[in-house]
Structure 1
């Protein structure tokens, strides 16, 4: 009975959304100075046409608060995670048509990772614990990581590390992201808590943790470990790329937590790294102004090549290197994004940019030119 009622409500809402066919941008308060949808942004070989009206959804049936992350599944569908508990998960085709929605249990819905096992897709959903109540006030609770199938069926959950003795009583757990290694190991980034990267087996069994704030060599510390990604660009030497967002950099570790190097991105508060072939893509949640101060209501996308050199900044200024050193990167003169939180690269090399705190706007599509 519950399933039948749920399917009826879902189908009714989907039909209504198609009938209304009003993209989110049609009812959102857009940031002053945003470029028109026909604008082309980016640099070099990575330029894109902007489409803010891509997502065809209805504010009445599928409202949005913040669009945090998006992945593409094996069937080509685009799966988005947000923090509105009327529909944490929205599923689109590449034209922006809403195919499905589900999820009411993640008020702090933040991180979304696709795991492929034995020909089947699974999701790792991270609830960071930060959420807004009906009054608009922000609240905090313990975060969680859950594994589900693509229909939302729970496989298992990873709880507070204190329950297995690896956190002290005064250490907070507010996870922001996960990554999955080729052997199935799961890495959890505690980016709003204690800034550790915690490694578990594919079954959720604790292995080790690293990062945090108290290493003898400060280069090994993480400050706002917002994202973690397995980098397979060299298949013989897979590594972890971890965001240290407050330090405007990525830090690279071995899969067993040994520090390798730092990739400096001055002026960029980068979220998780997204790998596609030999490129690394990332949302920039804030940029700095000309005086070096963090500039709110800013953000863009950055793209790095196989050598981790920035080759394009859609929505930002062109990358400039002097003596091999990247210079501070500012937002473009005509802003396109607010708080770029994640980038999804589809199978045609188009991008979908999820934004945080951007007037409830849906993901923006960037079509490769």
Structure 2
């Protein structure tokens, strides 16, 4: 941690008077009432909460759910939501809105940045679940669309049944993608049949793995909500896949062979986000002390190079007993509703996108 960051961190902690727990007494039902100097997190990963970061209006750029966010090569922050007035919102790091577009993704859910030949592209995932204008939930087949940063479509990956990969009774409702260094695309079918499907850079099928019916149950995925390419060991890239209903990540080789699981007891984690030697993830729900899953109990979790949890911004401090991670809880005076995704910018600030958070914009966590 450099001198400037130490100074900012110490000053912020002095004004807040506490690390990892905001000032007590603020209602869970009114998290917007938390003070501006709220500091959350643990160890070297503490953050100042900024709920008013995004400078947008509910009339000009309405939001339903802010599902995911990535940072492009120019430092801009690109958010995907499920409001078809503006599926894509593009911000600068101050929160100013630079551009918005997109009206074809009512189930806008997953967003991945692909860099090819010096140009940025987006992989947009529509999961197939959406709300109509009356607020009723509908479903349709999902899709994965590759676009440039202006929304021009490059190609579309549709239902795997059309190429004979899925059986007629296997649904396809994808939630996420990841892109390997060679350009291969991995699609997580997290709301459908729980496979990870591998395509080449042109969208041509290679293989699929995971699912729910393997002889060795450790190879199964249950709510395969996210997938990421882990390049922390440059000589041994692997895939980290979310098995959210099992409250864990599972690690596979790049060709789909199971390696190990990373247990996250009590935490319903979303996609893994890799940054330097750390793995970040939004926690959509967590359990209470009695082991019951709670609504509005999300936060963020951060793992180190050895996949040990080192910080839970918005949650209680991680603890280990005889090397085993113990369940973490959301703070009683909660900062988040349901953490769905995080984006780590080049200054190590974190932006938290939320599902079912009362149409709120992403929350910025400024590293201190």
CA offsets 1:182-223 (integer angstroms, 9 cap, x no match)? 000000000000000000000000000000000000000000
Q: 2:242 matched to 1:267?
A: no
Matched with 1:97 is: 96
TM-score computed with the length of structure 2 as normaliser: 0.92
Question: Is 1:76 the equivalent of 2:96?
Answer: no
Give the alignment of 1:13-32 within 5 angstroms. Answer: 31-32=29-30
- CA distance in structure 1 between the partners assigned to 2:351 and 2:36 by the alignment: 14
Instruction: Give the Cα separation in 2 of the matches to 1:205 and 1:185.
Output: 9
2:183 and 2:120 mapped to 1: Cα distance? 13
Contact 2:28 2:334 in 1 (8 A): no
Q: What RMSD in Å do the two structures reach over aligned CA positions?
A: 1.0
Which residue of the partner structure matches residue 133 of structure 2? 134
- Per-residue deviation at 1:333? 2.0
User: 1:320 and 1:36 mapped to 2: Cα distance?
Assistant: 27
Find the residue that maps to 1:272 and give its secondary structure: coil
Please say if 1:287 is aligned against 2:290.
no
User: Gaps (5+ residues) in structure 2?
Assistant: 1-26
Count of residue correspondences: 341
Cα contact 1:30–1:359 (8 A) shared by 2 = no
| 1:50 and 1:367 in contact (8 A); partners too | yes
Q: CA deviation at 1:148?
A: 0.2
Does 2:187 match 1:188? yes
Distance 2:28 2:157 in 1: 37
What is the SS of the residue equivalent to 2:233?
Answer: coil
Please state how far the C-alpha of 1:48 moved relative to its aligned partner. Answer: 0.1
Output the CA distance in 2 between the equivalents of 1:33 and 1:323: 35
Partner of 1:205: 204
SS at match of 2:271: strand
Paired with 1:162 and 1:257, the residues of 2 have a C-alpha distance of: 20
Alignment of 1:238-253 (within 5 A): 238-253=237-252
- How many Å separate the matches in 1 of 2:332 and 2:42? 14
Q: Following the alignment from structure 2 to structure 1, what is the Cα–Cα distance between the partners of residues 305 and 186?
A: 23
SS of 2:37's partner is: coil
TM-score by length of 1: 0.91
Question: Structure 2: how far apart are the matches of 1:134 and 1:159?
Answer: 25
CA distance in 2 between partners of 1:168 and 1:253 (Å):
24
Matched with 1:66 is 65
What's the CA shift string for 1:299-329, capped at 9, x where partnerless? 0000000000000000000001000000011
Hey, what's the Cα distance between the residues in 1 that align with 2:329 and 2:246? Answer: 16
Partner of 1:122: 121
How much does 1:261 deviate? 0.3
8 Å Cα contact 2:28/2:332 also seen in 1: no
CA contact (8 A) 2:28 2:333 kept: no
Note the alpha carbon deviations across 1:18-54, whole angstroms, 9 max, x for none.
xxxxxxxxxxx98335532320000000000000000
> What is the distance in 1 between the residues matched to 2:299 and 2:241?
19
1:142–1:172 contact (8 Å) kept in structure 2 = yes
Q: CA deviation at 1:298?
A: 1.2
The 2-side partners of 1:159 and 1:356 are apart by: 25
Superposed displacement of residue 334, structure 1? 1.4
> Would you say the 8 A contact 1:130–1:141 is kept in 2?
yes
Aligned to 2:24: none
**8 Å CA contact 1:271, 1:285 repeated in 2:** yes
Is 1:165 aligned to 2:164, yes or no?
Answer: yes
Aligned to 1:148, the other structure's residue is in SS state strand
